[in-house]
Amino acid sequence: MDTVVGQETVGVWLHQQVGQAFRRWCKQEAGVRRGDDPEAIHQMRVAMRRLRALMGGFRQVLDLPRATRKVGMISRILGQARDQDVMIARLDQDYLPSLPAAEQAVLRNFTRGLRRQRQEMQRELTALLASATYQRVKEAWAKWLDHPRWHCLGDWPLAVLLPHVLVLAWGELALHPGWQVTTPEADPELLHDLRKAIKRTRYQWELAQRTQDMGLATPLGALREAQEILGNLQDGFVLAAQLGNTCPALHQRLLQDRAQIWATWQHLRFQLHCGATHQQVYGCLGTALAQLDLTPAALPENEIAHPAPVPPG
């Protein structure tokens, strides 16, 4: 059965989104290889996060080659390099100038070690980009873009499926046990896992929000802020563990920063996890669905679609 006239289908929209993320990924390769542009690593990682958000949120729609799954492995290695870049910049710009002279010497020695680690990571990155595995992953995504495939839900109107995907993402996030952590030291790993869950939901929502305004701008902004705040909290724990007791003044600064970050997180935690926000999210998505024709006659019945290539948007 044909899809509703005048409505973009999920499959066509996914093809456009995958194409945009893939081209953004490829555009950053030269800068990542050179190793002189931290922003290139960040942008390539963002592109791969978007691909992973599409893979996760639309796993019942996309029919992808098996090799595309390894984009997660590449993204994790990029993430390690990005984390090192951020840590070095933060130490140099935020902490070093305010420390006593004796501790500045200790911290400079520590950052020299981090830079050596970053150089080693750059060699690993360069080898990865030259590897057969990396080329297979790229070719798998390029092949899918040339000949896109999706399951029957790909022929549904995007406006029908999108609210359901966002509801599932929000519901999964709402049930994460990390919301119940009451102090930053109680379970840093669970808080870090909550941050990753927030990030997954944020990326899915951003992809949808760029296409269709569902009234979720306020909770989406809170998700972005929560991801950043929990990231800062995790960075502080990592730095404190690596430095130990070698810099007492810096250790005290890290404790003060942790307390401020936690106070901000408590506000965001309440904002995101309160009944009013859940009511707003489900209400907005329910309203979007209520405006649509969801009768069986309006929806396609194909078992699987093998559409012709669609020009990248």
Structure tokens at 7: 């409505």
> Could you give the CA distance from residue 92 to residue 87 in angstroms, rounded to a whole number?
9
Which of 238, 236, 208 is closest to 223 using CA atoms?
208
CA distance 159 to 161: 6
What distance in Å separates the CA atoms of residue 140 and residue 146, rounded to the nearest whole number?
A: 10
Burial class (CB in 10 A: 0-12, 13-18, 19+), 130: exposed
Q: Is the pTM of this model over 0.75?
A: yes
Query: In the prediction, which pLDDT does 183 show?
Result: 95
Give alpha helix (H) positions in the chain: 10-27, 29-34, 38-57, 71-90, 101-129, 132-146, 158-174, 188-209, 217-243, 248-273, 275-290
Supply 161's token pair. 């499926």
Integer Cα distance of 229 and 231 in angstroms: 5
Q: What SS3 class is residue 151?
A: strand
- pLDDT (0 to 100) of residue 3: 38
User: What are the CA-CA distances from residue 176 to residues 190, 193, 276, 287 (Å)?
Assistant: 9, 9, 18, 26
Measure the CA–CA gap between 89 and 15, rounded to whole angstroms. Answer: 37
Torsion angles phi and psi, residue 215, rounded to 5:
80, 25
State residue 293's pLDDT score. 57
Q: Which residues pair with 304 in a beta bridge?
A: 151
Q: What fold does the segment set 7-156 form as a domain?
A: CHAD domain (1.40.20)
Listed by start position, the domains of the chain span 7-156, 158-291
Predicted pLDDT of residue 289:
78
pLDDT less than 50: residues of the chain: 1-6, 297, 303-306, 308-309, 311-313
pLDDT at 313 (0 to 100): 45
The predicted structure's pLDDT at residue 35: 87
**pLDDT value of residue 1:** 30
Residue 178 has, within 13 A of its CA and on its CB side, a CA count of 22
